[in-house]
């Protein structure tokens, strides 16, 4: 990366323009599961005509013009779409220039997330400036399903007095928020209510209003509680990415995860997009078993570098 900072870059990072949106959307369509996050913002930009500040184009200098060869979404998390040209040296030059540009022009995000090959390559180049990382998850299975799975069975379902899975409403917010926080702490490693509480709560309210938060209630310890929940964290390009899948600790071991996942897949496919995806740490054997059981297939590898 140091060499790329000392030479004249062959590629530049510049704010996206409306004329770029169609080409950027086509780039994301090559792998709609891997690029669902930038695709979501591109669809919003095309619908509104307003290009978000976090969307950047990667351009190659070619004479008087600059050819679009990739894009970067820089929001709370940073994701890069850098399609391979088939030339190892050319791909290396693009990644070196993008790494130098994001260090020079962008603030460090909460995380780098995306296709493992690109994400880990960029991390290796920016680590001297943005490191150390709080955690590097170098292999996360990217999964997808494009059909409704067969419903499963919950053991001792009567004892839980399960209600049907449904889209959450604002009336559910007070009970849903603690479940979301519990999941976040377990998955990300810190309490979002102590770090960016307003943004976290605003995000949950947004997902509820958009019909992208799903919840199932049951009776745990004599009280009506959220026993299963999941959100559509990203939605674009015909793909809905599930995030925040969670089962109440006292309701685990009854098959509730498998059944809830199956039900939420069917609901999300009916409500939002024909393909449902998610990514999960490769060491999370229990989650992978549940996802395999309902029919998810492995379609790629993600990586996440958290700061």
Instruction: Show me where the domains of the chain are located.
Output: 2-132, 144-306
Q: What is the pLDDT of residue 63?
A: 67
The class level of CATH for 144-306 reads alpha beta
pLDDT over threshold 50, residue 2: no
For the domain covering 2-132, report its CATH number: 3.40.630
Write the pLDDT tens digit of every residue in 266-280: 999 999 999 999 999
Same fold, 2-132 and 144-306: yes
pLDDT over threshold 80, residue 13: yes
Q: What is the pLDDT of residue 196?
A: 87
Write the pLDDT tens digit of every residue in 230-241: 999 999 999 999
pLDDT over threshold 60, residue 246: yes
- Write out the chain in H/E/C secondary structure: CHHHHHCCCCEEEEECCHHHHHHHHHHHHCCCCCCHHHHHHHHHHHHHCCCCCCEEEEEEEECCEEEEEEEEEECCEEEEECCCCCCHHHHHHHHHHHHHHHHHHCCCCCEEEEEHHHHHHHHHHHHHHHCCCCEEEEEEEEEEECCCCCCCCCCCHHHHCCCCCEECCHHHHHHHHHHHHHHHHHHHCCCCCCCCHHHHHHHHHHHHHCCCEEEEEEEECCEEEEEEEEEEEEEECCEEEEEEEEECHHHCCCCHHHHHHHHHHHHHHHHCCCEEEEEEECCCHHHHHHHHHHCCEEEEEEEEEEC
Q: What is the pLDDT of residue 153?
A: 86
Q: What is the pLDDT of residue 261?
A: 97
Write the pLDDT tens digit of every residue in 46-102: 999 999 999 999 999 876 668 999 999 999 999 999 999 899 999 999 999 999 999
pLDDT bucket at 1, cuts 50 / 70 / 90: very low
């Amino acid at each position: 990366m140091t060499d790329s900072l000392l030479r004249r870059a062959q590629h530049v990072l510049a704010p996206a323009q409306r004329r770029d949106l169609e080409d950027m959307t086509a780039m994301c369509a090559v792998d709609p599961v891997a690029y669902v996050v930038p695709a979501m913002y591109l669809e919003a930009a095309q619908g509104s005509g307003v290009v978000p500040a976090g969307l950047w184009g990667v351009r190659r200098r070619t004479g008087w013009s600059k050819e679009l060869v990739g894009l970067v979404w820089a929001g709370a998390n940073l994701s890069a779409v850098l399609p391979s040209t088939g030339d190892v040296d050319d791909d290396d030059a693009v990644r070196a220039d993008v790494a130098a540009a994001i260090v020079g022009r962008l603030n460090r995000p909460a995380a780098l997330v995306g296709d493992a090959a690109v994400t880990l390559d960029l991390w290796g180049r920016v680590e001297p400036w943005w490191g150390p990382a709080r955690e590097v998850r170098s292999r996360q299975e990217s999964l997808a399903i494009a059909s409704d799975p067969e419903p499963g069975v919950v053991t001792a379902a009567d004892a839980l007095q399960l209600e049907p899975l449904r889209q959450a409403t604002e009336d559910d917010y007070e009970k849903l928020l603690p479940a979301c926080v519990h999941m976040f702490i377990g998955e990300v490693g810190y309490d979002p209510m102590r770090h960016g509480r307003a943004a976290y709560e605003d995000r949950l309210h947004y997902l509820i209003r958009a019909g992208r938060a799903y919840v199932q209630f049951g009776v745990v310890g004599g009280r009506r509680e959220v026993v299963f929940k999941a959100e559509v964290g990203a939605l674009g390009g015909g793909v809905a990415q599930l995030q925040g899948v969670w089962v109440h600790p006292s309701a685990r071991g009854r098959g509730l995860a498998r059944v809830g996942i199956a039900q939420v897949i069917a609901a999300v496919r009916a409500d939002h997009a024909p393909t449902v995806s998610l990514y999960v740490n490769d060491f999370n054997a229990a989650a992978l078993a549940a996802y395999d059981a309902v029919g998810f297939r492995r379609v790629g590898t993600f990586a996440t570098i958290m700061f």
